[in-house]
Structure 1
Amino acid sequence: MPSASTTSVTVLLLFLSLLSLATSDDLQLLLTLKTTFQNPNTDALFASWTPTNHTCNFTGITCNPDHTIKSIELSSRQLTGTIPFDSICQLKSLQKLSLGRNSLSGVVSEGLRACVNLEYLDLAGNFFSSSVPDLSPLFQLKYLYLNKSGFSGKFPWDSVFNMTNVVVLSIGDNPFDVGPFPERVGELSQLKWLYLSNSNIEGKIPKGIGNLTELINFEVSNCFLSGEIPVEISKLKKLWQLEMYNNSLVGKFPSGFGNLTSLENFDGSMNYLEGDLSELRSLTNLVSLQLFQNNLSGEVPVEFGEFKKLVNLSLYTNQLTGSLPEKLGSWAEFDYIDVSTNFLTGVIPPEMCNRGTMKELLMLQNRFTGGIPASYGNCTSLTRFRVSDNSLSGIVPRGIWGLPNVGLIDIGSNRLEGPITSDIGNAKSLAQLWVYDNQLSGKLPPDISRATGLIEINLSDNRFSGDIPETIGDLKELNSLQLQNNNFSGRIPDTISSCAALNLINFAHNSLSGEIPATIGSLPALNSLNLSENQISGQIPASLSSLTLSLFDLSDNKLSGPIPESLYVEAYNGSFAGNNGLCSQKIKFFRRCSPDSGGSKDLRLIFLVIAVGVVVLFSSVSFITLYLRRSQKDHEKSLKEDSWDMKSFHVLSFSEDEILDSIKKENLIGKGGSGNVYKVVLGSGKELAVKHIWNSDSGGRRSSRSTTPMIPKSVKKSSEFDAEVQTLSSIRHVNVVKLYCSITSEDSSLLVYEYFPNGSLWDRLHSCGKMGLDWDVRYEIAVGAAKGLEYLHHGCERPVIHRDVKSSNILLDENLKPRIADFGLAKIVQANASKDSTHVIAGTHGYIAPEYGYTYNVTEKSDVYSFGVVLMELVTGKKPIESEYGENKDIVFWVSSKLKNKESVLNIVDSSIPEVYREEAINMLRIAILCTDRLPTLRPTMRRVVQMLEDGEPCKLVGIIVSKDGSKKEEVKVYDKP
C-alpha cells in the first residue's frame, strides 16, 4: 500500500496539473479575446497579454488566490469590435466583466447566459444592435449596467426579478419598446440605484416603489410616465437623488414627501405638477431643486432662505406668487437661480452672490419691484443677468455694466434710469446687451467698442441722446443693432460698414440727420434695415440695391432725388413714404423725376465727369489693351505656378482649371455672409454652383500674393476646415445638395456643388408669385426638406448641424423637389475665422432660435426651430419678418397670437391654398408650433417631424363622379382619404 505521504504528494501533483491546465485554458481564451478587440493603440493596451506572461499579470485582469480569473476590467479603453461571450463565459470563476464606455457593437449573444457566476456586468456606453438576452441564469448579479448601449426590443424584466440581490440596475438611455413600469419592482428590496431615464417606460410609478427602502438614486426622466407621484415614495428616507423630469406626472406632492430629508438633488421639471411647495420646506439638505415648467402655485416657503446647502434653484414657468426669502442663496457657494415667468413680487434677494460664485441670475417676467441690489455690481462671476419684464426702478448700479464674465445683460421692460457708463468697456465677455423699454438716458459711451464680443445691442424705447459713436465700427461680431425710439442725433457713422456681420439695423424714430452712408450697401449679411422717422436727407444710395432685405423702411425722412430703379420691389411698397423730395418714374404716388432731379449743379457735374471720362478712356485704350494681354498671360502663368489642392468626392467630369477660370464677376449669382456664389457652365453644358468662402478678417480684399486676381482672399487652410469638408463630402441623400469637390490654396477655398436653376423656396414663396406652389407641392417640399435635415441630424456618423436653416437655403430642382443647401457651412466658416471670432454666423434674423440669446450654443434643436419657421412660411405664405407683426416681432409671435379659435387660425392660412386642403395646412402649422417651442427640450427631433408630416399627408383628388338627375347635374369629388 502507498504511504500517506505518497498519497499527499500525488494529490498535490494532480492539483498542480489541473491548475496548470486551467491556467493554460484561461491564457488561450484571453489571447483570443485580444485578437477580437481593436483599439487605436492596441499594442500598448495589450502589451502585457503575451503567451510568456502569467494571465494574472495581464492589464485589466484580476485573479483569485488560486490564480483563476476573477475580473476583466477594460472599460473606457476605446475598444471596438464584438464581444465573444461564448469564449469569455468559459472563464468559470469570472465574477466581474466591465467593458463599459467603449465602442463595442454587434449582437449580445445568448452566450452571455453561461457567465453564471457574474456579480458585476458593465456593458454601458456602447453601440450594440440587439435586444437584451434572457439573463435568468445570472441570478447572482448585484451590479448591472446596460445604459446607453443601443439595446432595443423588450427588456427581460422577468429575468431581473430573479436577481434578488441586485444593488444597481442601470438600463436607461436605450430605445426599448414602450412598456409599463413593472409592478414587481418592489421585489428588488436590496436596490440602491435605479436608472430608467430615456428608456420609453410608461404608465404610473407603482406603489411598490415604497418597498425599495435602501434606494439612494431613482431616475425616471424623459419617459412616458403619467398619474400622480405615489404617496409610498415618502418611505424612501435614504433617497439622495430623485429625477423624474419631462414626463406627464400630475397632482400635488404627496403627503409625507417632506420625509425625504436625505434628498440633495430633486428634478421634477417639465411635468403637470400642481399645488404649493409646502411639502418641500423640510428638505433642508437640498443642493439642487429643479421644478420648472409645471403648474405650481402659492408662495416659495420662507424656509428655503435657510437651506444651507442650496446652490441651484430653478422654478421658472409656474404660477408662483409672493416674495422670495431675503436670505435665499446666501449660505453656500450659490450657482444660479431661475424663477422667470411667474407672478413673484417684492425685491430681488440681495445676498445670493455672497460667496462670489453665482453665475446666473434669471428673474424675468415677474412683478419684482425696487432697485437692482448694488451687490450684484460686484458679482464678477456672473455670466447671465436677466431681470427684464418686471417693475424695477432706480439707477442701474455702475458695476453691472462692467461685469467681466457676463455674456448677457437683459434689463428690458422695467422703469430703470441712469446712463450706460464707461464701465461697459470692461465687459469683455458681453455678447447681448438688452436694455430696451426703460427710462435710461445719456450718451452711448464710445467705450462700448471695447466690449468686442458684442453680438446684439438693443437700446430701443429709452431716452438716449447724442451721437452714435464712431467706435461702433470696432464691434466686428455685431449682428443686431437696435436703437429705435430714442433721441439719438447727428449722422449715421460711416464706420458701421466695418460691422460685416450685421444682420439687423433699426434706427427708427430718432433725430438722426445727414445722409445715408453708401457703405451700408456693402454689408454682406444685412437682412433688415429701418431708418424711418428721422431727419435723414440727401439721396438714396444706389448701393442699397445690392442688399437682399426682408424689411426695408426709409419712410418719414427728408430724402430727395430719384428712387434707384433697382429698389422698385413690390415688397418695399411704403418704404419711401413721407419723403416729399423723392421722385420716381415707376412707383405710384411719387412725382415723376425731371431731368434736373438731383439738382442742375449735380447734373452739370455728372456731364463734366462723363466728358473727362470719355477723353481718358480713348487715350487709355492702347494701355488697357496691353495691360489686359499681359495680365492674362501672367494669370495663366501664375495658375501653373501656384499650388492648388483639389479633393474630389464624386466622379468628376471637369478640371480645377475650368472652375478657377469661371470665378469672375460676370458669373456672380449671389452674395451672403459666408461668401460669394458663382454659376459655372462647363464645356459640356453642365451647370455647377461654386461657393467661395473668405476669412472674416479679410473683408473680401484681394491678397497681394493672390495669383488669381478675380478670387478674393479666402480662408487659410486648417485641419479643422479639412475635417469639416470631409464630413460634408460623405453626405449622400436625395434631399441634400451634392458637394462635388473642394479646391483650396493658401489664399482661396472653393466648394463646388450641383446647380439648381429653379432657385430657392424663398424665391418661389416671396419673389415669384408663389409660382407652381400648390398645396401638394408645398407638402412635398416640407417632407423632402425635413428628410434632408433628418439625415444630417441622424443619418451621419456624427450629427451635422446646419446652423442656418431658412427657405433661401432650400433649393428646388427641375421637378420642384427640395435640396438642403449650405449644410454645415457655418461651422466651416467659423472654423476658419480669426481666433478672436467666436460667433461668426448666428443664423438669419427671423429664423434664429431663442436659446441663442441664452447660451450661444447651436444644436440640432436650433435647426428644428428654424425649420418650424420654414413650415410657417409654407402655410401662411408670409416672410419671417414683416411690419404687420409689430415692432421686434416675428412670424412665430404672429402665428401664436392668432391661435385664439379655429376661425382665426384658418385666416392665417395662405388664401391661395384651396379650402379642401385647409385642414392639412393647419396640421402642418401645428407641427411648426411644436418645432418653435421656446424650450429646445420640448421640440421634436427631425426624425419625429418627418413622422408627423408623413402622418398628415394631404388627401389627393383621385376622381370625379358626375351624375345627372333630369336637368340637374352634380359632381362629387373623390379623394384618397376621408
Structure 2
Amino acid sequence: MEIAELKQLRNISLFDNQFTGAIPQGLGINSSLTEVNFTRNKFTGPISPNLCFRKQLWKLILGQNHLQGSVPSDIGSMLPEFLKNSNPLFMELSNNSLHGSIPSSLGNLVTVTLVDLSLSKLTYHIPPELGRLVELQELNLSHNRLNRTLPSQLSSCHKLSKLDLSHNLLNGTIPSSLRSLSELSILDLSENRFGGGISASLFQLGKLSCSQVCGNQLGGPIPPSIGSQAEAQSLREFISCNNLSRSLEAIGKLHFSTEVNVSYNAFAGPVPLPTMKWVASSPSSFLAIPIYVANGFKFCNMLSRKAGLTCVGVAMIVSGSILFSVVLVLGIFYVFSRHKCHERNFLVSAEEGASSLLHQVMEASENLNHKYVIGKGSHGTAYKVTLGLSKVFALKKLTFVGYKGGNTRSLHDVLHKTCPSPLLERNGRYKIALGTAQGLLYLHFDCDPAIIHWDIKPMNILLGSEMEPHISDFGITKLLDESVVPATSNVVQGIIGYMASKNAFSTKSSKESDVYAYGVLLSKLVTRKKVLDPSFRGEMDIVAWVSSVWNETKDVEAIVNPTLIDEFMDSSIKEQVKDAILVASRCTEKKAGKRPSMREVVKQLTVSDSRCRSKKCT
C-alpha cells in the first residue's frame, strides 16, 4: 500500500534522511494530516497543495530540500476549519529553490507563530497582508530576492520576537513604526539597499538584544540613543558597511554590556576620549576608520589606508618564523610631534634593504634593551627606536608558542601532519579564515605600493596559541608598482595548485592571484583535503572537485570534512560553512575579473559570522 492511501495517517515525520524524488501528489487527500516534517532530505518538485486538503494541517516543515516551483497561491486555505479551537500554525519551507512571489493569502493564517521562507529565490515585495498575523513570533524571509520597500503593516505583529529580512534587495527607508514591536529581540535587516538615516527607534526597543543593519546605504550620524537599553541586558549592534558619517561621539556613551561594530563607514573628525576605550577593547569593530583623538595624535588603524605603515614595515609585521621562538616585527607606526601628527612614508632603497634596516634598529635599540620598551601586550613587547632626527619606529617582538594541541607551527601541520589530527572547531576555523583575509586586504589596499604575496598556502599561515593566523614567508613577494615592476620576469612565482591554471605559467603581478590562492586555502580549511588529493577523480584538483560536488548535489555535507558534520546540528553553523564554500568558489573563478577583492571577502565573512552569531542570540 502506498503512503498516500493510508486513511488514518495524521503525523508523518521523515526528517534527516536521504529521500529523493517528488512528494506524492496524493498525500493528504485520503488522510487528515496535522503534522508534516520532511526537513533535511533531497525531495524535488513542487510543494503539493493536497498536503492541506482536509484543512487540519497545523505544522508544515519542508526546509532544506530541493523543492522547486512557487509557494502555493492558496496557502491561506491551509488553516483548520475552526480557528479559535486550532493549534498554533508552524510553517518552515526554508533552503529550497522556491521562486515567484510570496502569496498575499499567507495573511489568512492568523494563528501562525512561525513563517520561514529563507534561502530561496522569492522575488517581488513583502505582502502587507502579513500584518494580519497577530500571533506571529518569528518571520524569516532572508536570502531571497525580495525588493520594494518594507511594509509598515509589519508593525502590527506585536508578538514578533525575531525578524530576519537580511540578504534581499529591499530599499527605501527603515520604517520608524517598527518601534511598536515591543517584543522584538532579534532584528536583522543587513545586506539590503535601505537608505536614509538610522531611526533612533531601532535602539529604543526594550527587549532588543541583537540588531543588524550592516551592508546597506544608510547615512547620517549614529543616533545618540544607541545602546540606551543595554543597562538592563546585553545588546549587540552591527551598523558596519554603510555610509554613516560625522562623529563617533555616541559610541563613548555605550554601556559596558553593549557590543557594536561600526567598521567601513565614513566617520571623520576627532574621536572623544571616552570612545577610545571601545577602539582599544575591540579594534576589529572599527576597521577601515581613521582614528584620531582630540589632541591631534593619531592611532594607527591596521586596516586603514592612512595608517602610515610602509610596505617594508607591513611585510615584516605579517612575516614569521617556522621556529618556536621569537619573531621580530618592524613597523613604522607614527612620528611624534608636539603639536601635530605628521604621516611619513619611509621607503627603503634597494641598496639598504629590509635586512639592513632591521640591523640598524637592532643596533639603535642596543639589541632590544628594556629601557626602550614602550608597551607590552598579549602578543609581545613593543620598543621605540629612533634613527637620526626624524625616523621613529615601533619594533615589536612577538612570541609564538605554537598550537595548544601539539608541536605544530602552521595551518598545513594542523590540517595534514599532526597525529592525531586536532579538531578545528567553528571559532578556530573562522579566526583562521577571517584573519588571513584581513592580512591580505591590508597588503592589497592599505600599503602603497601594494604588496602581492604570491605564495599564500597553509604552510605559510602560522598559528598562535589561540589559533590566530599570521601570514609568513615573503621570500617571493613583489611590490606592486607598475611604473617600475615589469609585467613579466623569467621566474615563475607561486605554487601550482594554489594558482589559476592560466597564471601558473604567467608571472604578471596581480592581486587576483592572491585571491585565487586564498580560495584554495579556504577550500582546504573546510574539506581538510590536499590540493591534489588521492580521493579526487583523474587529474582533478581541489577547486574542480568542490565545484563538481556542489554543482551535482548542492549538499554542504558532501563537501566538508566529516568531523565538521556533528556541528551541523546547529543550523547557523551549517549556513556559515555554506557561505565559506561559496566565498571560496567566487575566489577561484577562472576569469580573474570575476573574483572578489579581499575587501569584499572580508565583508562577506564578517556578515556571515554576524548572521551566525545573531541566530545564537535566540
Corresponding residue of 1:142: 58
Corresponding residue of 1:340: 263
Alignment of 1:62-81 (within 5 A): none
SS at match of 1:248: coil
- Residue 172 and residue 445 in structure 1: after superposition, are their counterparts in 2 closer, same or farther (change >3 A)? farther
Q: Does 1:528 find its partner at 2:428?
A: no
Question: By how many angstroms is 1:105 displaced?
Answer: 3.2
Corresponding residue of 2:190: 269
Name which of structure 1's ranges 856-865 and 273-282 shifts more when overlaid on structure 2: 856-865
Q: Does 1:127 find its partner at 2:42?
A: yes
Alignment of 1:856-875 (within 5 A): 859-868=580-589, 871-872=591-592
Alignment of 1:610-629 (within 5 A): none
Alignment of 1:893-908 (within 5 A): none
Q: Structure 2 CA distance, aligned partners of 1:527 and 1:452?
A: 30
Corresponding residue of 1:413: 306
Determine which of 6, 15, 32 is the counterpart of 1:117: 32
Question: Deviation digits for residues 671-710 of structure 1, max 9, x if unmatched?
Answer: 94999xxxxxxxxxxxxxxxxxxxxxxxxxxxxxxxxxxx
Q: Structure 2 CA distance, aligned partners of 1:861 and 1:314?
A: 23
Q: Structure 2 CA distance, aligned partners of 1:721 and 1:297?
A: 37
Corresponding residue of 2:241: 317
| Rg larger in structure | 1
Alignment of 1:833-872 (within 5 A): 859-868=580-589, 871-872=591-592
SS at match of 2:148: strand
Question: Deviation digits for residues 633-654 of structure 1, max 9, x if unmatched?
Answer: xxxxxxxxxxxxxxxxxxxxxx
Alignment of 1:323-334 (within 5 A): 323-326=248-251, 329-330=254-255, 332=257, 334=258
Question: By how many angstroms is 1:453 displaced?
Answer: 9.0
Q: Structure 2 CA distance, aligned partners of 1:131 and 1:728?
A: 38
Question: Deviation digits for residues 896-931 of structure 1, max 9, x if unmatched?
Answer: xxxxxxxxxxxxxxxxxxxxxxxxxxxxx4x45699
Equivalent residues of 1:792, 1:800 under 8 A apart: no
- Residue 867 and residue 451 in structure 1: after superposition, are their counterparts in 2 closer, same or farther (change >3 A)? farther
Q: Structure 1 CA distance, aligned partners of 2:20 and 2:133?
A: 34
Equivalent residues of 2:219, 2:245 under 8 A apart: yes
Equivalent residues of 1:203, 1:227 under 8 A apart: yes
Corresponding residue of 1:922: none
SS at match of 1:251: coil
- Residue 110 and residue 798 in structure 1: after superposition, are their counterparts in 2 closer, same or farther (change >3 A)? closer
Q: Structure 2 CA distance, aligned partners of 1:722 and 1:159?
A: 40
Q: Structure 2 CA distance, aligned partners of 1:159 and 1:858?
A: 31
Equivalent residues of 1:371, 1:394 under 8 A apart: yes
Q: Does 1:231 find its partner at 2:147?
A: no
Determine which of 271, 275, 285 is the counterpart of 1:369: 271
Equivalent residues of 1:528, 1:552 under 8 A apart: no
Question: Deviation digits for residues 581-606 of structure 1, max 9, x if unmatched?
Answer: xxxxxxxxxxxxxxxxxxxxxxxxxx
Amino acid at match of 1:390: P
Q: Structure 2 CA distance, aligned partners of 1:172 and 1:124?
A: 9
Alignment of 1:90-101 (within 5 A): 90=7, 92=8, 94-101=9-16
Q: Structure 2 CA distance, aligned partners of 1:299 and 1:552?
A: 39
SS at match of 1:97: strand
Question: Deviation digits for residues 399-432 of structure 1, max 9, x if unmatched?
Answer: x99xxxxxx975773589xxxxxxxx9xx9x99x
Corresponding residue of 1:108: 23
Corresponding residue of 1:169: 91
SS at match of 2:45: coil
- Residue 121 and residue 285 in structure 1: after superposition, are their counterparts in 2 closer, same or farther (change >3 A)? same
Q: Structure 2 CA distance, aligned partners of 1:326 and 1:552?
A: 41
SS at match of 2:206: coil
Determine which of 201, 213, 217 is the counterpart of 1:295: 217
Alignment of 1:348-363 (within 5 A): none
Amino acid at match of 1:148: Q
Equivalent residues of 2:497, 2:541 under 8 A apart: no
Corresponding residue of 2:107: 186
- Residue 168 and residue 338 in structure 1: after superposition, are their counterparts in 2 closer, same or farther (change >3 A)? same
Question: By how many angstroms is 1:187 displaced?
Answer: 1.2
- Residue 858 and residue 264 in structure 1: after superposition, are their counterparts in 2 closer, same or farther (change >3 A)? closer
Corresponding residue of 2:466: none
SS at match of 2:290: coil
Question: By how many angstroms is 1:97 displaced?
Answer: 2.9
TM-score scaled to structure 1, two decimals? 0.38
Question: By how many angstroms is 1:129 displaced?
Answer: 2.7
Question: Deviation digits for residues 110-133 of structure 1, max 9, x if unmatched?
Answer: 352256333222211222233322
Question: By how many angstroms is 1:871 displaced?
Answer: 2.2
Equivalent residues of 1:413, 1:438 under 8 A apart: no
Question: By how many angstroms is 1:245 displaced?
Answer: 1.0
Amino acid at match of 2:107: G
Equivalent residues of 1:316, 1:339 under 8 A apart: yes
Equivalent residues of 1:321, 1:342 under 8 A apart: yes
Corresponding residue of 2:74: 158
- Residue 262 and residue 295 in structure 1: after superposition, are their counterparts in 2 closer, same or farther (change >3 A)? same
Equivalent residues of 2:47, 2:67 under 8 A apart: yes
Q: Structure 2 CA distance, aligned partners of 1:858 and 1:184?
A: 32
Question: By how many angstroms is 1:729 displaced?
Answer: 4.3
- Residue 792 and residue 310 in structure 1: after superposition, are their counterparts in 2 closer, same or farther (change >3 A)? same
Question: By how many angstroms is 1:312 displaced?
Answer: 1.4
Unaligned runs of 5+ in 1: 1-28, 30-83, 345-365, 402-407, 417-424, 484-498, 504-522, 531-549, 556-568, 576-668, 676-719, 740-784, 803-823, 832-854, 873-924, 940-978
TM-score scaled to structure 2, two decimals? 0.57
Q: Structure 2 CA distance, aligned partners of 1:258 and 1:446?
A: 59
- Residue 373 and residue 466 in structure 1: after superposition, are their counterparts in 2 closer, same or farther (change >3 A)? closer
Question: By how many angstroms is 1:788 displaced?
Answer: 7.0
Amino acid at match of 2:552: G
Alignment of 1:281-292 (within 5 A): 281-292=203-214
Corresponding residue of 2:179: 258
Corresponding residue of 1:520: none
Amino acid at match of 1:337: V
Equivalent residues of 2:331, 2:393 under 8 A apart: no
Corresponding residue of 2:552: 795
- Residue 315 and residue 179 in structure 1: after superposition, are their counterparts in 2 closer, same or farther (change >3 A)? same
Amino acid at match of 2:90: V
